[in-house]
Amino acid sequence: MELWVGTSNAGKMSEIKNFFINSPVQVHSISELPVYTTPKETGKTFIENARIKAKALKAVKSNTWIMAEDSGLE
């Protein structure tokens, strides 16, 4: 099973990969995609921005599991 994560942040990817280390899940980052345009985060909340990222990634990786989050300062 593949899980694509809507981030290119190495620290976040390390945490997520460590979470799945003993599972059959193969975790991938948007930085592995040959063509991907990071969407503008125009949401008013972390949740809205995470949804924007998730929808953009799902448009490129429609047949896999995707995950996105946003945890900036608020």
Task: Give 14-48 pLDDT, tens digit per residue.
Answer: 999 999 999 999 999 999 999 889 999 999 999 99
Q: Domain count for the chain, please give it.
A: 1
> Is residue 20 included in any domain, yes or no?
yes
Residue range(s) defining the domain that contains residue 62: 2-67
Q: What is the pLDDT of residue 69?
A: 86
> Is residue 74 included in any domain, yes or no?
no
For the question of residue 70 being annotated catalytic, the response is: yes
> Is residue 29 included in any domain, yes or no?
yes
Q: What is the pLDDT of residue 35?
A: 87
Rg of the chain over CA atoms, in angstroms? 12
> Is residue 73 included in any domain, yes or no?
no
Percentage of residues in the chain with pLDDT exceeding 70? 96
Which among 70, 71, 72, 73 is annotated as catalytic?
70
Q: Distances in Å between the alpha carbon of 20 and those of 2, 42, 59, 64?
A: 11, 30, 24, 16
68 vs 57: CA distance, rounded Å: 9
Amino acid at 40: K
> Is residue 27 included in any domain, yes or no?
yes
> Is residue 14 included in any domain, yes or no?
yes
